[in-house]
Every structure is written in C-alpha cells, then in structure tokens.
C-alpha cells in the first residue's frame, strides 16, 4: 500500500482556511495513490495558544464537530484513510490535544486518540489523554496513533507495536530537532513503519522544524520533508516487513523480550 504525510503551515485560529489548505494537499496525496494519509497535530487550529479562551474558540467535539465531519466527507470522496490532529472539547468542556481516524464509505469515523504526554505550555490548556494507546484496524493495515511529544517516551511506540500496529501514525508540531533522527530508531526497535506528519512556519516566536518523516522497520528514511515548504510525501510500503519481528533465525524482537527483568 502507499502511505503519505501532509506537511503544512496552519493559519492560527482559522479552521476554514486550514480545511481548504489541507484538502488541497490531501487530494495531491490521493492522486498519487496514497491510501493512508497523516496530517499534523492541530492541523486545523494552529498550536501556540495564548489563552484557554483561544482553544475553546476552535476546539470541537469528536465525532460531531466540524473537523471530523470535514475529514469524513473527504475520506469518503477520495476513498482514503486519514489520521489528523485536532483540538477536542468533550461534553463536559474538557479540552484534549487529540487525533481523529476516519475512512472511506463503509468506515466513516473510526476512532480517536488523546495525547498522553503533553509538551510544555500544552499543560496550561489541555488535559492529559485518558484513552490510552490504541491500534485501529483499517482492514489493509493496523494503525497505531501517537502525537508529537509522545515520541520522546519509547513506551508509546512499544505499546502500540505490542498491540499489533503495522504502522504508527504520528501527527506532530515538532519544535525540537531530534524526532527526525529518533523516529527511524522507534521504527527499527519495534519493526513497524512510522509516519511523522509535521508542520512548518512560526507562531509567536515558536518555530516548527518541518522534516516530516516516513521510516521503515529497518530504520530507513523512506521520505523526509523540507524545513519550510508545504508538501506531501508518498511512499509504497511492504506490510509483511512490519509483521515479521525476526532479526535472524534465532532472534525475534518480541519473543526475546524478558519483561520480568524490566521492572524497577
């Protein structure tokens, strides 16, 4: 199957403009036959909020809010699966940095993930995710989801891999330089594909590094974006490689685990 990242520069607090921008890039990826397309963290709202009121202004419910509805309609039309980061407001008014998973006709809204590891000032506005790490079976593949700073904790990717993920979708707004180097290692140590969809641009002094990355279970960088351009990266992947956890005839990365020695 072919998979893709969308790298874009969201307009701060302008969801409608961001829908238009994202649609153009999603269509480009679909034209290149990508079946799974990953968008950045908070693709629809921008990131560097200055107050809770700003988040509440643009956060929506999942799946009944405008962002999920936009993504579902586009996924149905283009016959693709999409993973995208968005600001969520639940029925009690709690705010979460979330990702939504949607698919074509017969799938629609599939599920959501709420970011477990909040970064820096996100803690001022969002509650930590409370749904755990989940793998979504989209038929052609099993897709785990984590968001941005989750990468810093190896347990995130390992948990998704142990739950059966072939691919880890990783919507991001990266500002530190490390993830483009680290994600191929996350892919290697778990024998999965990783798709990091990052944003570009600057918001109130915070610069985002771009370099969206697709990595293979052999730590190969299959695609990497620029630091400053809106673009899509599309590659073909071999899912059988992600489903084979053997390093050689004697070693299997999961069967060789010895968790009784991993406790403190």
Among all residues, which ones are annotated catalytic? 41, 115, 148
Instruction: Report the interhelical angle of 66-78 vs 15-31 (nearest 10°).
Output: 20
Task: For residues 198 and 212, give the distance between their C-alpha atoms in angstroms, rounded to a whole number.
Answer: 5
- Which tokens hold the place of 197? 């969809």
Write down the number of H helices and E strands in the chain: 6, 14
CA-to-CA distance for 41 and 32, rounded, in angstroms?
A: 23
Main-chain phi, psi angles of 25, to 5 degrees: -75, -35
Rounded to 5°, the CA angle 195-209-152 comes to 55
Q: Distance from first CA to last CA of the chain, Å, rounded?
A: 41
The total of other beta-carbon atoms located within 10 Å of residue 76's CB is 16
d(CA 194, CA 215): 5
Where is 215: in which H helix or E strand?
strand 213-215
**What phi, psi does 174 have (nearest 5°)?**
-75, 135
**Gap between the Cα atoms of 256 and 250, Å rounded:** 9
- 261 contacts: CB under 8 Å, gap ≥ 6: none
């Amino acid at each position: 199957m072919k998979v893709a990242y969308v790298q874009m520069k969201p307009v701060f607090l302008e969801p409608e403009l961001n829908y238009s921008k994202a649609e153009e890039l999603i269509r480009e990826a679909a034209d290149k036959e990508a079946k799974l397309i990953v968008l950045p963290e908070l693709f629809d709202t921008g990131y560097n909020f200055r107050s809770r009121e700003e988040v509440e202004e643009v956060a929506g419910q999942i799946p009944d809010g405008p962002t999920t509805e936009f993504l579902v309609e586009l996924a149905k039309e283009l016959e693709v699966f999409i993973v995208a980061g968005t600001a969520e407001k639940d029925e009690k008014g709690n705010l979460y940095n979330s990702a939504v998973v949607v698919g074509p006709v017969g799938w629609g809204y599939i599920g959501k993930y709420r970011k477990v590891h909040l970064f820096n000032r996100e803690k001022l506005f969002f509650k930590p995710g409370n749904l755990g790490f989940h793998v979504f079976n989209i038929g052609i593949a099993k897709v785990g989801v984590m968001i941005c700073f989750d990468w810093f904790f190896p347990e995130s990717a390992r948990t998704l891999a142990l739950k059966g993920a072939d691919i880890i979708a990783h919507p991001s707004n990266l500002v530190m330089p490390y993830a483009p180097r680290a994600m191929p290692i996350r892919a290697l140590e778990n024998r999965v594909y990783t798709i990091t969809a990052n944003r570009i641009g600057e918001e109130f002094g915070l610069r985002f590094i771009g370099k969206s990355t697709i990595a293979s279970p052999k730590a190969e960088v299959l695609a990497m974006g620029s630091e400053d351009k809106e673009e899509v990266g599309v590659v073909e992947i071999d899912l059988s490689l992600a489903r084979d956890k053997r390093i050689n005839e004697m070693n299997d990365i999961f069967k060789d685990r010895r968790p009784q020695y991993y406790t403190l």
